[in-house]
Structure 1
């Protein structure tokens, strides 16, 4: 049995399934980041620090561009929910439970402007970070390499389910993603259960992409 060939084919299929749900988010005059389609009717999830203060532009995988409305943002959790006027989009499926340490993880984004990039690593640890307001935020540490342009993109498991939202580099070869469970709760508070199928403050400045 050609294990390497079979494994490579599985990874190729995973990448092809995720890419239609990966978007470019341009929220700053210079630079931008990534995001993911959260619902078929145009909800897009990304990092708060990616959105900035300008009206963001979303570029879909089919090259179409859409001006987005900011539905809600949480500088504390570094999450933002956007809405574009589009339909029949392909949302990513949130994982139903937290990943296991040692599980494969794939980070999608546009590092250094290189579109539709994917890196591979493993889940190194599940952590509870303290926010600026003293709340607990579940995060995932992995060694899937990140770079500027990865922020807001999905971290997925080997089944293509979202386990986190890429957020920052810790230093060395470690990076952090906000747990998809925190993202689900954020969306739930904003738009309610039907979309859970998956004051303006400064974003977290230190270490973010």
Structure 2
């Protein structure tokens, strides 16, 4: 971030509650085919000065954007001095180390994407919830079942069992900077709200929000509570899932980020089919620059292409394939690598146990390697340091 006063804000919000229910967990990782609807063509027409109203778009999409209310049980110490290591030992010695459970509620948004009740939202909205309640625009409410989460992309899938559900189709065609978009969600819990803007940029990454980042940037106003809500085009197709904003105050300043619908759909189908997202993994630590080193140990500043490797996980796929620290990965399966984000996304899309051709620069030489891609460890089990692949 360019200024200490600018901070990244995830869009879910929390308030206190006094009741909770046991957590509902997914007991069925395998699911039938998801009933998705087809992308809508752009048919909205405007007057001489352009589109005069987005009411048709809102009528087609808003019913499929839901409010999500969650309850999480949070444990905390009974005495404030328990946070001090010295006093903690005293309390533990006298058997006074007690914890209390306190319910905490949160709110966010979600998007119904299938007739059979699958809803896309953010992991940070529902990932730790003990109870999830979904409220539809038509007044219906239902408890939701957590199908699965993907912390690396900050996406989650929940499911409700209701009939005659409205849906929003995924946009599969290309987005462009300047396209008009609408953000629909439940900011600050005031109720469903629609804001309008444009796509400001595509492919934003390196923000430190998620492990895998390929964000759509928009100036449509989104605020806390919009997390998991829909970003749609003027035809009523799902462009992205609203996730975060850059802000000094915590409110919208015209820089919001949404997870692209293509990525969201892919993650959702993996979660429904396998209960998790299965990604490829190399087991390398990526350096902050691409310079690399010469054979004599001197810094090589001439390398403008490739991704420099700072470390290799012992016994990992890269290590077994002959990759060394300070190698610079030039290409994978003849595709040139130019950034850490590109490398991570490329490897993640490769099925584990697949052998790939890797060209690295080692000193002044290019070396051809064959590496068998492994399965990326779960977030809780792996070291999720920034720049690790």
TM band (smaller chain):
0.7 to 0.9
1:77 corresponds, among 149, 153, 158, to 153
TM-score (norm: length of structure 1): 0.84
Deviation at 1:36, TM superposition (A): 0.7
Q: SS of the counterpart of 2:52?
A: helix
Q: SS of the counterpart of 2:120?
A: strand
2:129 corresponds, among 40, 53, 62, to 53
Q: Which residue of 1 aligns with 2:202?
A: 126
Q: Which residue of 2 aligns with 1:182?
A: 263
Conserved? CA contact 1:24–1:34, under 8 Å: yes
**Which structure carries more helix by proportion?**
1
1:43 corresponds, among 107, 113, 118, to 118
Q: Which residue of 1 aligns with 2:66?
A: 23
Structure-2 separation of matches of 1:8 and 1:46: 31
Conserved? CA contact 1:156–1:163, under 8 Å: yes
Structure-2 separation of matches of 1:94 and 1:115: 24
Structure-1 separation of matches of 2:177 and 2:47: 27
- 1:56-205 alignment, distance < 5 Å: 56-130=132-206, 136-171=212-247, 172-192=253-273
Deviation at 1:170, TM superposition (A): 1.8
Structure-2 separation of matches of 1:137 and 1:174: 16
Structure-1 separation of matches of 2:234 and 2:223: 21
Conserved? CA contact 1:124–1:142, under 8 Å: yes
Q: SS of the counterpart of 2:131?
A: coil
Structure-2 separation of matches of 1:143 and 1:162: 17
Structure-2 separation of matches of 1:145 and 1:126: 17
Deviates more, 1:58-67 or 1:135-144: 135-144
Conserved? CA contact 1:128–1:136, under 8 Å: no
Conserved? CA contact 1:76–1:131, under 8 Å: no
Q: SS of the counterpart of 2:153?
A: coil
Number of equivalent positions = 193
Conserved? CA contact 1:126–1:139, under 8 Å: yes
Gap runs ≥5 in structure 2: 1-45, 72-103, 248-252, 274-377, 381-389
Higher relative contact order, chain-length normalized (CA < 8 Å, sep 6+): 1
- What root-mean-square deviation, in Å, do the aligned CA atoms of Structure 1 and Structure 2 show? 2.3
TM-score (norm: length of structure 2): 0.46
Deviation at 1:149, TM superposition (A): 1.1
Deviation at 1:148, TM superposition (A): 1.0
1:12 corresponds, among 38, 47, 55, to 55
Q: SS of the counterpart of 1:92?
A: coil
Structure-1 separation of matches of 2:156 and 2:190: 23
Structure-1 separation of matches of 2:170 and 2:228: 15
Structure-2 separation of matches of 1:170 and 1:127: 16
Conserved? CA contact 2:148–2:272, under 8 Å: no
Deviation at 1:131, TM superposition (A): 8.5
Structure-1 separation of matches of 2:217 and 2:180: 12
Structure-2 separation of matches of 1:58 and 1:129: 31
Structure-1 separation of matches of 2:184 and 2:203: 21
